[in-house]
Amino acid sequence: MPVYVLGISALYHDAAAVILCDGVIIGAAQEERFSRLKHDASLPIRAAAWCLKKAGITAADLTYLVFYEKPLRKFERILATSVATFPKSWGAFPRQMRTWLGDKLWLRGTLCAAFGVRPDRVLFCEHHLSHAASAFYASPHTEAAVLAVDGVGEWATTTLWRGSGTSLTPISEVRFPHSLGMLYSTITAHLGFAVNEGEYKVMGMAAYGQPRFRAELDRLLKLDPSGGYALDLDYFSFHWHPTRSGTPALEALLGPGRFPGAPFTPEGGAAGGAARAESQRWADLAASAQAQIEDAMLHLVRHAKAAVGTDALCLAGGVALNSVANRRIAQEGPFAHLWVQPAAGDAGGAMGAAMWVWHAVLGHPRQPGLARADLGRSIPVDRAREMLTDLGAKFEAVDDPPASAAADLADGKVIGWVEGGDEWGPRALGHRSILADPRSAETKEHVNSRVKYRELFRPFAPSVTAADADSWFDIPAAAQEPACWMLTTAAVRPEKQATIPAVVHVDGSARVQVVRPTASPVFHQLVSEFGRLTGVPIVLNTSFNLKGEPMVSCTVDAMASFVRSGLDVMYVDGLRVERPK
């Protein structure tokens, strides 16, 4: 009988479901792609139902359903922290108790009722073990140091493991409230962005600044020579305040925070001198925070090498999505190989928990590592045709969609591209993408302002064929795998920067995606054909969504975004859809 394991992550942010059959990933999807609520944290009922359908089974056929963390231990941490910080925590405590004394604390029964499984089929994996398992078991490495860094799980915020074969052995940990993830999120909030959603905006803003606030930020964080670290909690309130991350002392140290939505104009434009100066202060603060998190991660990585001694490092946890830090880890760190789980945040915990059951609970051998990102919902062409007809769209089937799309791009069109299954993780990797010609500097502003309706300072990624990557980008040797998941930055070679200005960030870098023909054959054909037409084997690639929305998943999602954006044309699995008049 086949062994089916369904992994679940939920109830904080980025809920997801992943199903394995005999240790092989059959499907993986985030709930937001079905509910259309970005970072949806609710139980992934729709994603799980899709996983079961993809596997051709019902919940009764599951060997195990596994949740990605242990709620009782998490409740213990919340209760202990509230008591330790009382009376300051009096505002947060009632809210936390109302939440936890409801469904969260008695989660086994909730899972049984929601997913239709028996209580003896429900397992719980520790949060950071789920992260570590997602990084190690999905990697191509059988011996590795495994580092998980995020905001917080049950108690742990940073953990180091030794991965060997099918075993994960804990080495060390840092406990809440000391947390690199919470430190970066606090600066994110101070800069006027939403926590758990705006950290990558801080990373983009940092390129416009200089780290002149580094001395101030170093008062917040002290690195331990033994490989740990500690926060100065006088500056933080995330562990006791219901809504605020930093204390008045933080504002006194760093200056007033940015009001959410305030214009960011470091390059001038129509803004006056005072506005430019304030924008530059924000950029310098972002640059200081980014430099600090990079140095802290290098500190952890060097300790990992000394403690474990392998050639490979596997990263997971939300901090592992910081592609600029990953580049420095690859360039300056002691490991020859870096592997980052593409859904490194909480969504990836669903995959890690399922893999933990297969290897640690059931004792089965390793399966091949994760090689493709298109693990989510796909659109049967007949169904897409039917839905487009019902929506009154004007479309035609094309014989060679990659060639047709490449011709549209070369003609200056901005296109929506839907092919195969949804990407696993937050990066658009050529399955749910908005694509454009990178050769014009105006393309960046056009796509930001008139297609996606987002902040003008945010950069776009270049997708380049694997055969041509080294000619255009200086990708660190250790970061070859993260580059395939768009999880590292690289310097654009100086002589090439003027050719592709739309994807070169202000500091001369780019968050590159290296497209391999084995991982994304259709998208690779598209980029290759664009290279044949233009001499530039690179396309601008960003996620197919509008600001504040999840990536599109099905035909209706794609059509809704298409008609509300400035896209010129859209492709849905071989169907070329023209813009409605």
Cα gap 405→576, rounded to integer Å:
9
For Cα atoms 260, 36, 241, give the angle at the middle one, nearest 5 degrees: 40
Contact between 227 and 303 under an 8 Å Cβ cutoff? The reply is yes
Contact between 514 and 483 under an 8 Å Cβ cutoff? The reply is yes
Cα gap 349→317, rounded to integer Å:
9
Cα gap 115→43, rounded to integer Å:
9
**Shortest CA distance to 286 belongs to which of 160, 379, 198, 162?**
198
Q: Judge whether 13 counts as a catalytic residue.
A: yes
Exposure letters 429-450 (e unless 16+ CB within 10 A, then b): bbbbbbbbbbbeeebbebbbee
For Cα atoms 53, 56, 57, give the angle at the middle one, nearest 5 degrees: 90
**Shortest CA distance to 410 belongs to which of 380, 435, 445?**
435
Return the residue matching tokens 């007949």.
382
Cα gap 220→481, rounded to integer Å:
33
Cα gap 367→101, rounded to integer Å:
39
Cis before 87? omega within 30: yes
The residue annotated as part of the active site, out of 13, 39, 239, 337, is 13
* Cβ count within 10 A of residue 553: 25
Cα gap 395→562, rounded to integer Å:
13
Cα gap 309→337, rounded to integer Å:
12
One-letter amino acid identity for 93?
F
Active site residues per annotation: 13
